[in-house]
Amino acid sequence: MTASSSFSEISTKKIIQMNDVSTSYDSKNYALHGINLSIDKGTNYAIVGPSGSGKSTLLKLMNGMMTPSKGTIKIDYQTPNMNNKKFKIMMHKIGYIPQSLGLIKNISVLENTMIGALPRLGIIQSFLKNFPEEEINEAKRILKLVGLSGKEERKAYMLSGGEKRRVAIARALMQKPTILLADEIVSELDHVTAREIMNLIADAQKQMNLTAIMVHHDMQLALEYANRVAVVKEGQKVLEIGVEGDSIVDFQTGDLTTEEIMEMYSDESKK
């Protein structure tokens, strides 16, 4: 295989594919129903929708924390599942930032960041927190990148909301990720800080050829930063659009027909 053909293969690789995926937390209600999506490597993909529509569940399916009750999911051609050995190794390179960030409050910014490097560390090293020099340097480089230089030794609970998000991003970048999943991490921030954080991720994404899947509450933010935006409502993907600059280049209704979408919206207006 020549270098150029492998390049074109990589650049169009479908890194995430979901086929008719449904899942539920209890036996009665679907949290997600009949989801189809396909994400190219390197895409900045946004998921938007009202709260309770299934956005967080969608991310948890992508990192193997949940499994679908129906349909198939492939992440880099592997089925995400904690018990799948190949996928477990892939998890090392899937950065996941939950809605509440999941930082460890009583340990330092540096140690929180170092958690992203744990798959690369040995048992004794990680137990004694005896981190190799090059990993410490890498952590410091990333913390500088996210704007936290000089705060390495600060305990996580002492940080502001914006700073906490930067630590969570640093932890994910420390994984040297190929995929970044971020759940509404800028929703609670003010306008300016939210954009600072989004720019930071956009920069890292370009540098690392990262595929980013970010859940947003705010459609505006999604349109501003993403190449593709999926809209989820009541557990179903209602539409997906491609964005280039200020214009919408591709408009697809999702798994619902236009009539079904209209019906959903008119249902809502009746309530």
Q: Which residues bind other proteins (CB under 8 A)?
A: 63-65, 88-92, 94, 96-107, 111, 115-116, 118-119, 121, 123, 126-127, 155-158, 164, 168, 175
Please, what is the minimum distance in Å from the beta carbon of residue 209 to Mg ion?
Answer: 27
Q: What are phi and psi of 34, to 5 degrees?
A: 60, 45
Please, what is the minimum distance in Å from the beta carbon of residue 157 to other proteins?
Answer: 4
SS percent in the chain: helix, strand, coil, step 5: 40, 25, 35
Nearer to other proteins, 3 or 124 (CB): 124
Q: What are phi and psi of 73, to 5 degrees?
A: -125, 135
List Cα–Cα distances, 87 to 39, 210, 215, in angstroms: 18, 18, 23
Please, what is the minimum distance in Å from the beta carbon of residue 75 to other proteins?
Answer: 12
CA–CA separation, 109 and 261 (whole Å): 45
Please, what is the minimum distance in Å from the beta carbon of residue 151 to Mg ion?
Answer: 28
List Cα–Cα distances, 141 to 6, 137, 195, 228, in angstroms: 31, 6, 21, 30
Binding site for ligand ADP (CB under 6 A): 25, 31, 49, 51-57
- The item of Mg ion, other proteins, ligand ADP, none sharing an interface with residue 31, based on CB under 5 to 8 Å by kind, is ligand ADP
Q: At what angle do helices 133-145 and 161-174 cross, to 10 degrees?
A: 140
Nearer to Mg ion, 90 or 238 (CB): 238
Nearer to ligand ADP, 66 or 241 (CB): 66
Please, what is the minimum distance in Å from the beta carbon of residue 239 to Mg ion?
Answer: 19
Q: Does 56 bind Mg ion (CB under 5 A)?
A: yes
- The item of ligand ADP, other proteins, Mg ion, none sharing an interface with residue 103, based on CB under 5 to 8 Å by kind, is other proteins
Three-class secondary structure of residue 214 per DSSP: strand
